[in-house]
């Protein structure tokens, strides 16, 4: 039996579905780390709001994020389904770590309805 799992990113501020416009923003404040799902416009507003504080502050770790939008983490059951499909197709992939995007794209193309 085939199974399709879909993750829909929703703005934590407005509750609206974000589609390709969404991203998850990670930040820390007072020793607590946060993730928030935002539209591109909301993420830009957030970045502009905290810019003067990040400019004045001292960086203490982490990696710089690229300008590209970050997607929501893949559901573990979807990753398992992709790996099961790859095994069935005889496609080699790393058994640990992230799956290459081209492998995910192959799975998505094979499971379009």
* Percent of the chain topping pLDDT 90: 10
- pLDDT tens digit sequence for 57-81: 887 776 665 555 555 566 778 888 8
Measured between its terminal Cα atoms, the distance across the chain in Å is 14
Which of 96, 85, 29, 88 has the alpha carbon at shortest distance from 104? 85
Residues β-bridged to residue 34: 27
**pLDDT, greater one: 83 or 62:** 83
Q: Is the pLDDT of residue 42 over 80?
A: yes
**CA-to-CA dists, residue 25 to 35, 36, 39, 83, angstroms:** 6, 5, 10, 28
Alpha helix segments (H runs only) across 1-113: 40-56, 76-89, 101-110
CB atoms within 10 A of CB 15: 7
Q: Structure pTM?
A: 0.49
Number of H helices, E strands in the chain: 3, 2
* Percent of the chain topping pLDDT 70: 88
């Amino acid at each position: 039996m085939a199974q399709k799992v879909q993750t829909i990113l929703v703005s934590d501020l407005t509750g609206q579905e974000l589609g390709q416009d969404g991203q998850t923003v990670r930040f820390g404040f007072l020793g607590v780390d946060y993730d928030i799902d935002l539209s591109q416009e909301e993420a830009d507003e957030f970045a502009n709001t905290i810019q003067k504080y990040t400019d004045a502050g001292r960086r203490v770790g982490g990696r710089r994020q690229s300008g590209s939008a970050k997607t929501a983490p893949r559901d573990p059951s979807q990753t398992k389904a992709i790996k099961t499909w790859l095994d069935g197709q005889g496609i080699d992939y790393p058994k640990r770590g992230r799956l290459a995007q081209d492998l995910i794209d192959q799975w998505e193309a094979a499971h379009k309805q």
